[in-house]
Structure 1
Amino acid sequence: MRIVGDGAPTRITIWTDVAETADGLVTEAPGERKVVLLLSQNGYSAAGEGSGGVESWSLEPGRLEFVLDRPMAVTRMLRLPPTGKERAYRVILDLDTISPARYTVAARRDVKKLAKLETEMAAARAEATKQLAGGKWPAGRSPGGARKHVVVIDAGHGGRDPGAMALTGGKEKEITLKAALALRDVLEKGGKYDVRLTRESDIYVEHEDRVTLARNWGADLFISLHADAAGSASVSGASVYTISARGETRIDREATKNDWKIAIEDGTPERLNGLLEDLVKRETKTRSAEFAEFLLPQLEKAGPVLRNTHRNAGFYVLLAPDVPAVLLELGFLTNEADAKRLQSDKGRKAAVEAIAEAIDTYFEAQDLRLAAN
């Protein structure tokens, strides 16, 4: 965020990783004037000093407030998509000094609109939580029965697509399939999950079909397994990818193309549908990142990891709007030690047990959160 100007006018620019739609509304209380912006996607807290008529600002989950040191009006508000080198979304508010009387009139008008928006957003958040908690009946659950979390494991490449070639001999498609089958066996042995594989043999599955399968199965988590390659044989270690800001710009287009509709409960007011869909997508991104953070310390126990191990990318298999997903590079096949580790029973066992441990930790945290709500 940046605040520039002297009050006549002042411009506030806010950079976000997803599109925001709320208006900037003014409020008034004894001795206090504010501009309030409701953020449907934010889950963070921060605060700071202002300038140009803005005394200070504070950010809380769902709400950004600017405390004014004089009466000011929002004279213009722009919402800009990513363009060119600017990869973030932007919200721009132009403020200008007005008379106290005009400010009071504007605040009386905006307070009603603000209350209505807060009520609608609270309802949408509750519905989004319900959707992601299992509002539909996916595989592994039946009415009246306990629901198992659905974990979809995607073995990268396959069939006509061999993937990277291992320095020690062998192909990525073979290594990822063996790892996927081993991970399935470990998870099924525990009995806590309904485990599905996008492929169980040496066949090629189109990227969009992998995502579609996961959604049709009601996946609670999607893990795509790969093995990396580099120009230098010295590069080694595992890494985890979640969706990038640039990748997010493709989600709506691919969702429309492949009919990946976010299930909205019948009877939901039409005006809430767009907001609810945005909240589900945001929550999906957040949960993907949470799983990645649970996965990293487990991977470190199983073998080397890259520096800056949690990375962002626009890989197609990460584009589901409502399924938390990660792409896991198990190591570098161009590194002899990594290739040997991934092709050995011992190395593969260590890797899949690390992933399984992270899955357990992730769902335990999710279940505790839902119980608290």
Structure 2
Amino acid sequence: MKVSYKKRILIRKRRFYRRLFALLLFITIIGITIFIRCSANYKFTVCIDPGHGGYDPGATNSIYRADEKDIVLDVSLRLAKILRKEDIKVIYTRKKDKVSWENQRESLSERSKISNKSNADIFISIHANNFVKDTNVKGTEVWCRFKNTEDEILAKEISNELSSIGYTKDRGLKYEEDKELYVLKNTQATSVLVELGYMSNPEDLKFLMSKEGKNKCAEAIAQAIINYYKTIKIEE
């Protein structure tokens, strides 16, 4: 029995559309699978806040021609690179020596907003200290909001890891009850502010200006974040 020309064309069209539909369905499933895998790979989100930037140099040392904003940005970028290798999502408040805000008040507000909008699990603000009245003063400090909180757990981990490098004095943990810090008070995530050392102290500054020093600080903070994550997961 012969099939008419029109019927053959119709059969071919049906076969073509079935194959096209199957192909599109396959591509869609693969795309969804890749998206789910990529999304699931992120353990959590960290918002890194390199202090100051742009018009605001932060602490400066004219003898060594060093600005806080440059040192903390460099450390922050190195930190982000390490965290990404650990499947941790990274958000920045700034990635360059450029900011969109025009004054310090707006700067603090915008940094908190960036973290809050991203639903970050951790907010870490990175700074360097300064005390020109006594250049012998040196050391790291880690600030958090309150005692007996996840903030304090993270702060302790960072303090311990930085201390293990051995480049300076460990000045311990500091709390908001001693000095109110806007970015900690107004950020919803587990939040800490890290002071890597003193720009006014020659030993601290030389270390922080060196490639080795920046790498070690970034590695220490990254390890502390991983330690914190493991601790929180165990408690859950």
> What range describes the TM-score normalised by the shorter chain of this pair?
0.7 to 0.9
The one-letter code matched in structure 2 to 1:193 is I
Given that 2:59 and 2:129 are in contact with CA atoms closer than 8 Å, whether structure 1 keeps it comes out as: yes
Given that 2:113 and 2:187 are in contact with CA atoms closer than 8 Å, whether structure 1 keeps it comes out as: no
Match of 1:223 among 116, 124, 134: 124
Structure-2-length-normalised TM-score: 0.75
| Residues 141 and 297 of structure 1, relative CA distance in 2, 3 Å threshold | farther
| Residues 314 and 186 of structure 1, relative CA distance in 2, 3 Å threshold | same
CA distance in 2, matches of 1:141, 1:196: 20
CA distance in 2, matches of 1:299, 1:315: 21
Q: 1:28-58: per-residue Cα shift (whole Å, max 9, x none)?
A: xxxxxxxxxxxxxxxxxxxxxxxxxxxxxxx
The one-letter code matched in structure 2 to 1:304 is T
Match of 1:160 among 55, 64, 85: 55
Query: Which residue of structure 1 lines up, in the alignment, with residue 136 of structure 2?
Result: 234
| Residues 221 and 232 of structure 1, relative CA distance in 2, 3 Å threshold | same
**Larger fraction in helix:** 2
Q: 1:276-320: per-residue Cα shift (whole Å, max 9, x none)?
A: xxxxxx9xx71111101111111111222343x101131111013
Q: Which has the higher contact order (CA 8 A, sep 6+)?
A: 2
The one-letter code matched in structure 1 to 2:135 is A
The one-letter code matched in structure 1 to 2:158 is L
The one-letter code matched in structure 2 to 1:227 is A
Q: 2:185 aligned with 1:319, yes or no?
A: yes
CA distance in 2, matches of 1:153, 1:243: 17
CA distance in 1, matches of 2:45, 2:83: 11
After TM superposition, the runs of 4+ consecutive aligned structure 1 residues lying more than 4 A away are: none
Query: Which residue of structure 1 lines up, in the alignment, with residue 150 of structure 2?
Result: 287
| Residues 145 and 350 of structure 1, relative CA distance in 2, 3 Å threshold | closer
Query: Which residue of structure 1 lines up, in the alignment, with residue 227 of structure 2?
Result: 361
CA distance in 1, matches of 2:187, 2:85: 30
The one-letter code matched in structure 2 to 1:194 is K
Match of 1:329 among 188, 195, 205: 195
The one-letter code matched in structure 2 to 1:172 is E
Q: 1:41-88: per-residue Cα shift (whole Å, max 9, x none)?
A: xxxxxxxxxxxxxxxxxxxxxxxxxxxxxxxxxxxxxxxxxxxxxxxx
Match of 2:163 among 294, 300, 314: 300
* Secondary structure, aligned partner of 1:298: helix
Structure of larger gyration radius:
2
| Pairs within 5 Å for 1:68-217 | 145=40, 147-166=42-61, 167-190=63-86, 192-204=87-99, 205=101, 206-217=107-118
**Larger fraction in strand:** 1
Given that 2:139 and 2:196 are in contact with CA atoms closer than 8 Å, whether structure 1 keeps it comes out as: yes
- 1:160 is displaced (CA, Å) by 1.0
- Percent same amino acid at aligned positions? 32
- 1:141 is displaced (CA, Å) by 8.0
| Residues 224 and 321 of structure 1, relative CA distance in 2, 3 Å threshold | closer
| Residues 347 and 146 of structure 1, relative CA distance in 2, 3 Å threshold | closer
| Residues 201 and 321 of structure 1, relative CA distance in 2, 3 Å threshold | closer
Query: What RMSD, in angstroms, separates the aligned Cα atoms of the two structures?
Result: 2.3
- 1:145 is displaced (CA, Å) by 3.8
- 1:321 is displaced (CA, Å) by 5.4
CA distance in 1, matches of 2:124, 2:136: 26
* Secondary structure, aligned partner of 1:325: strand
Q: 1:192-217: per-residue Cα shift (whole Å, max 9, x none)?
A: 20011110111235111111111111
CA distance in 1, matches of 2:168, 2:190: 25
Which stretches in structure 2 are left out of the alignment for 5+ residues? 1-34, 102-106
CA distance in 2, matches of 1:146, 1:155: 25
- 1:242 is displaced (CA, Å) by 1.0
